[in-house]
Amino acid sequence: MNHHLRPLFFVLLLITLPLIGCGTASTNLITGETVRGAYTWQEEVQIGTEADQQIIAQYGLYDNAGLAAYVERLGQEVLQTSAYTDPTTPAEIRNTPFYFRVLDSDVVNAFALPGGYTYITRGLLAHLENEAQLAVVLGHEIGHVLGRHSSQRALKAQQGQLGLIGAAVLGGVVGGGGVAEGILNYGGTGVQLLFLANGRDAERESDRAGVAYAEFAGYDGAEAASFFRSLGRLSAQAGGSLPSFLSTHPDPGEREQTIPQLAAQYDTGTRVNSAEYLQQIDGIVLGTNPRQGFTENSVFYHPDLRFEFDVPNGWQVANGAAAVQIGEPNGQAIIQFTFAQESSAQAAGRAFAGQEGLQVSDQGGTRINGNTAYTVSGTANTQQGELALLATFVEYDGEVFQFLGYTGASSFSTYRDEFQSTAGSFTRLTDSDKLNRQPVRLDVVQANRTASFQSFLSGRPMPYGMDANGLAIMNEVQLNEQIPSGTALKLPQN
């Protein structure tokens, strides 16, 4: 059984990073400069290999073998034109396999882990128009790996003694940093270093690398400019709460200028391959997949797991593969919903209450809509101050689910009712309309007339979590833009 929601604390806490000393000298393979990073290449490979399993557990791989093979093939092609194959590159790096994975997330994102692991979401793939753009994005992520960027970042973070854990807990988690940052929990050590934002210099370096590698592979790197313009519109729409690919990258306006300039420097590539690309993404899921949970009128429904619960009015829901995060709009309180690992609510509650550093004020058994449950309340000290929390464990259909509401200690009385009523509303989903929801898929069509982009949307369903403007951005056009007859469009499938 492959549920979308997976145990979270579990996977995140397993990683062990090598201890960081004063840093190790290595060569940045993009610039050729000697840089200090926290890890040797072998350590980077070890970190990447461990974290890769967690990324897969957390997001899930997108279930489409043809598309996965296509992205892998193109990634390998771009890799072959990069510094990876340069004879001066150390053999240990040239002999390390690189991986290009497609993640099942509608968040528009791509990122890399140390040691040769790169990821692109189906959400980002839907926003690309051609193979040349994809080549630049994959080249960019290869650049992060070969530039040893996360190793340098980890060293800086470690030396700076950043209060990462506390910041992740108290900072507005939902919508703050995308799924990867959103799921960081107290108790985790190390892995969050991997998700710190790259610096702008690292991003510019990777942009250069991405365009150069794509050009060397025969693609027109200048094509990426219009994708980066789209990213800019996405970030404006998101109101500043961006997934990491957007937030950490250079200003989209800057990129729109620099990408064509960079491409002109090489100007070896002419391939765009729009039709080939669109054929590959035809039929992929658009927006969120309601099978994996969706929110409607302040109720969260999970058709595959057959439950529902209320969401406090106005709170934001981020439904990740491993957890549902429900955030107070100003980031003052969070409710996190996950699987618990134990086989009963009581065992899960007692294990939770027994955690080091937690001062339990109250715990005991209860029932929630006929299901056996257990609650624990208490406080915990973090680097950002004292947190107060209410954890509720519910047995349901052979699983144990966990609601964890937490906030600053002084705000607990303000949010306790929300924590209680959310967990207390957990119940069986019986509404067949909700149970039968299916995802909306991408349909590649040729415009049969010259008309505004918006007019092509009429009569088509709206993907979950998207709107008309989002679909225009996805097509790299304006909503009212006149689309010439015969243009290929990416529309929601009827």
Q: Which residues bind Zn ion (CB under 5 A)?
A: 203, 206
Q: How far is the CB of 199 from Zn ion (least distance, A)?
A: 10
CB nearer Zn ion, residue 250 or residue 461: 250
For residue 30, which of 133, 127, 110, 112 has the smallest C-alpha distance? 112
Question: How near is the Cβ of 235 to Zn ion at its closest, in Å?
Answer: 14
Torsion of the alpha carbons at 211, 217, 222 and 224, rounded to the nearest 10: -70
Q: How far is residue 403's CA from residue 415's CA, in Å, rounded to a whole number?
A: 14
Q: How far is the CB of 370 from Zn ion (least distance, A)?
A: 49
| Least distance between Zn ion and beta carbon 477 (Å) | 25
Q: How far is the CB of 207 from Zn ion (least distance, A)?
A: 8
Beta carbon nearer to Zn ion, 122 or 204: 204
What are the residues facing 24 on neighbouring strands? 37
- Closest to Zn ion by CB, 166 or 199: 199
Pairing of the two strands 285-286 and 440-446: antiparallel
> How near is the Cβ of 89 to Zn ion at its closest, in Å?
21
Cβ nearer to Zn ion, comparing 136 with 263: 136
Given a contact cutoff of 8 angstroms between Cβ atoms, the answer to whether 249 and 231 are in contact is: yes
> Which is nearer to Zn ion, 206 or 375 (by Cβ)?
206
The rounded radius of gyration (Å) of the Cα atoms in the chain is: 23
Give the residues across from 375 on adjacent strands: 364, 392
Distance CA 283, CA 304 (A): 21
Closest CA to 394 of 372, 415, 413: 372
Closest distance of CB 110 from Zn ion, Å: 7
Give just the sign of the alpha carbon dihedral 31, 37, 39, 44. Answer: negative
Nearer to Zn ion, 206 or 295 (CB): 206
Closest distance between Zn ion and the C-beta of residue 140, in Å?
Answer: 6
CA distances from 349 to 284, 374, 456 (A): 40, 6, 52
Which one, 147 or 465, has the nearer CB to Zn ion?
147
Spacing of C-alpha 287 from chain mean position? 13
Number of H helices, E strands in the chain: 18, 21
> What whole-number distance in Å separates Cα of residue 112 and Cα of residue 192?
14
DSSP 106: -
Of 138 and 318, CB closest to Zn ion: 138
Strand (E) or helix (H) holding 335: strand 333-339
